[in-house]
Amino acid sequence: MEKDKHLAALEAMYLAAPINAIYQPRISVGEGQSEIEIELHEGYFHAAGAVHGSVYFKMLDDAAFFAVNSLEREVFVLTTSFTVYLTRPVSLGTMRSVGRVVNSTKSQFIAESVVYNSEGKEIARGSGVFVRGKVKLVDARGYVAC
């Protein structure tokens, strides 16, 4: 079965973002959910030899964001707040984040995400509030019009 064009366009948009040249992620977007994975390397580490918290945040926010934008087909959504809980350090293998929308209204979306290590253990968790922005998806880098 062919993937929904909007979901495929979101995946292309994510991979086209200049920041992702650093992370080389893989992404899969479904209706109200997304999954992102990166391979870890020393370039993501803080001075004590584990992954820096900013990488955890990126993985959590990105997974939640794309879960939300899967439900919004016209405009780029914006993160208005995001809470992060770092529960376990990681320095080897992969990080995999899974995001899902848990609530939506006319004005906002709430999404949650969890990051797992290579063994499938939870290493971080977060939740955020997202709103519809003004930038049309068709104007975003990498998004191919549906």
Give me the amino acid identity at 139: D
Q: Is the pLDDT of residue 2 over 70?
A: no
Q: Where are the domains of the chain?
A: 5-139
The predicted model gives 48-63 an average pLDDT of 98
- What is the pLDDT, as a whole number, of residue 39? 98
What is the CATH architecture assignment of 5-139? Roll (3.10)
Tens of pLDDT along 76-95?
Answer: 999 999 999 999 999 999 99
Mean pLDDT computed over every residue of the chain: 96
CB atoms within 10 A of CB 105: 7
Question: 39 has which bridge partners?
Answer: 94
**pTM of the full structure:** 0.95
- What is the pLDDT, as a whole number, of residue 3? 76
- Residue 3 phi/psi, 5° resolution? -70, 140
79 is written with which tokens? 């993160």
